[in-house]
Amino acid sequence: MRALIQRISRGSVTVDQRIVADEVGIGLMIFLGVGHEDNQEKARILAKKIANLRIFGDHEGKMNLSIQDIQGQAIVVSQFTLYADTKKGNRPSFIDAANPEKADQLVNYFADQLRSFGIPTQQGEFAAHMMVSLVNDGPVTIWIEN
């Protein structure tokens, strides 16, 4: 699994002018890609890592607090393009991305795992053309692959 995490001060997701993830305040926008070899165990480990990732400022301004510590919110956006292979030519190949059925199941499982840590979590709409709006706070953007 691959996750591109952005610390945000606000974010939302719309599909066809319909809000699918309401505007959230301080928290994380998590773009999640699922590969062929991924499974629930990898999703659980990744969710735990992100839930405990200390990337929010403490009273001294140091990155020392997790999303749980600040009682932040998360939006999970499925993004198969995180598995783009651009080694050959100019058109990306997505051959390493999981099939849609597997990816959908694991994205939902991942979001449920975040919720199990007490993190209010919304999701984009799987396989839809989404308009993602966010304000990256910092900016802080972190790539995690497991």
Residues noted as catalytic: 79-81
Q: Tell me how far apart the terminal alpha carbons of the chain are, to the nearest angstrom.
A: 6
Region of 117 on the Ramachandran plot (φ > 0 left; ψ -120 to 50 alpha; else beta): alpha
Beta bridge partners of 132: 13
| Beta-bridge mates of residue 11 | 24, 134
Task: Tell me the pairing of strands 56-57 and 63-65.
Answer: antiparallel
Type of residue numbered 76: V
Which two tokens mark 114?
């975040």
